[in-house]
Amino acid sequence: MTKVLILGAHGQIARVATNMFLAESDAELTLYLRNVRRLNGIGHPGRVRVIEGDVMDAESLRTAMDGQDVVYANLSGDLEGQARHIVAAMKATGVRRLIFISSMGIYDEVPGQRYDSILDPYRNAANVIENSGLDYTIVRPAWLNNKDEIAYGTTQKGEPFANPDAVVSRKSVADLVVKLALTPHAEMRSSLGVHKN
C-alpha cells in the first residue's frame, strides 16, 4: 500500500488528485496544509490523515514526511524556499520519491515565447529539485481549466512544449500525478510538460 504525502492539499489539482487516489487505489494519504478547516468532507477515515502545517516549518514537515513513500507538492508562494525545505526533509527521513508541480515555460521550451521573470520562482525551485539527487518528477502543465476530462500528452525537458496555446484540465494533471505516484520508477528524474491532447 503506497503512502502519499500531499503538500498543499487544498490546491485545486491536489483536491482532484486526492479524490482520484481514493477512488482508484488503496493508497494511504496524508493531507498537509496550512488551514485544515479549508478541507471539508474528506471521507475514508482509515486512509486519510490531515495535518495542519506549513512547508517552511522544518520540524512539522519532517514529522509529516516520516514513513511516506511518495511526496506530491502542489504549492504556491516561496517555491524555491519550499523546495529547499522539502528536499531537506526528504533527505532527513529517507523518502526518495518527489512529484512537484511547476509551470510550462521555465526552460524556454514554449515555441515563440521567451522565459519571463515571473517564472523565476518555478525555475529556481526546479533547479533545487534537479540538483537534489532525489527520484523526482517535475510536472509543468499548460494553462489550466476545470473540465471533467482526461486528455493530455507529455513532453520531456529539452523538447518543445506541445500545443502550448490549448488549455489542459486539472483532472488531466491529477491523473498524471496519480499514475506517477502509483507506478514505481515512472519518469524518474524527469521534467514533464503536460499539454492538452
Report pLDDT digits (tens) over 58-84: 999 999 999 999 999 999 999 999 999
pLDDT of residue 113: 86
Dihedral angle computed from the Cα positions of residues 22, 94, 9 and 80, in that order, rounded to the nearest 10 degrees: -150
pLDDT of residue 184: 87
* C-alpha closest to that of 193 among 107, 134, 86: 107
pLDDT one-digit tens code per residue, 116-140: 789 999 999 999 999 999 999 999 9
Per-residue DSSP letter, 132? S
pLDDT at 146 over 70: yes
Domains of the chain (ranges; CATH) run 3-196 (3.40.50.720)
User: Comparing 2 with 113, which gets the higher pLDDT?
Assistant: 2
pTM of the shown model: 0.96
The 10 Å Cβ neighbour count of residue 124 is: 17
pLDDT at 39 over 90: no
